[in-house]
Structure 1
Amino acid sequence: MTVSLLRLEAGCSLEFAPSDIERVKAALEQLYGVPLVGKSSPILTVYTFASANLIFQNEWEDPCLIANEPEGVAMLEQVAKALG
């Protein structure tokens, strides 16, 4: 499994393979609990955790989780470390 944490101007993005979606989901739930599922469209879903919102995007079989706030960035850093 290859997980990449990309720094963005206003946050970060956790990039991973489609085959790793379940492992990433399991790591998130183990670390932060089960999220509430918010706004959804064909290419993205917003997941709300107690500390932050994360955007899951899977356009063109290129999944990623995006964080636009410091709490979400810290969450994605922990997930990347757990899966590292």
Structure 2
Amino acid sequence: MAVSLLYSESGCSLEFSVSDIERVRAALERHYGKPAVNDSSPFMTVYSFAKAKLAFQNEWDDPCLIANDATGVAMLEHIAIELTQAAQATQNRPF
């Protein structure tokens, strides 16, 4: 699993592969609870957690979560660290 954070002036996005969507979803729910879902746009789904809203896009099989405030950015950073550490632990197994 490879995840990356891309920062902009307005926030950041967590980039990951389609095969990792379930891991990202599970990590978010484990730490921040089950979100309310607003999928009124055909191009974006907004997940509302107690602390922040995250927008999910998956154009061209290139999924990402987007945060536009400091709380959302902190959530994505936390998830990115956890998923990166989990991937490294899996790679370091001898068998």
With normalisation by structure 2, the TM-score equals 0.85
RMSD of aligned Cα (Å): 0.8
**Using the alignment, how far apart are the partners of 1:31 and 1:40 within structure 2?**
25
**Using the alignment, how far apart are the partners of 1:36 and 1:50 within structure 2?**
9
**Using the alignment, how far apart are the partners of 1:73 and 1:39 within structure 2?**
21
Q: Which residue of 1 is the match for residue 44 of structure 2? A: 44
* 1:17-71 alpha-carbon deviations (Å, 9 max, x no partner): 0000000000000110100002432221000000000000001110000000000
In proportion to residue count, which structure has more strand? 1
With normalisation by structure 1, the TM-score equals 0.96
Q: Which residue of 2 is the match for residue 18 of structure 1? A: 18
Q: Which residue of 2 is the match for residue 29 of structure 1? A: 29
**Using the alignment, how far apart are the partners of 1:31 and 1:50 within structure 2?**
11
Task: Say whether 1:67 aligns with 2:48.
Answer: no
Q: Structure 1 residue runs of 4+, over 6 Å off?
A: none
1:50 match: secondary structure: coil
Structure exhibiting the larger radius of gyration computed from Cα positions: 2
Alignment coverage as a number of residue pairs: 84
In proportion to residue count, which structure has more helix? 2
Alpha-carbon offset, residue 9 of structure 1 = 1.4
Letter paired with 1:55: A
**For structure 1, which runs of at least 5 residues remain unmatched after alignment?**
none
Give the fraction of aligned pairs with identical amino acids, expressed as a percent.
67
2:58 match: secondary structure: strand
**For structure 2, which runs of at least 5 residues remain unmatched after alignment?**
85-95
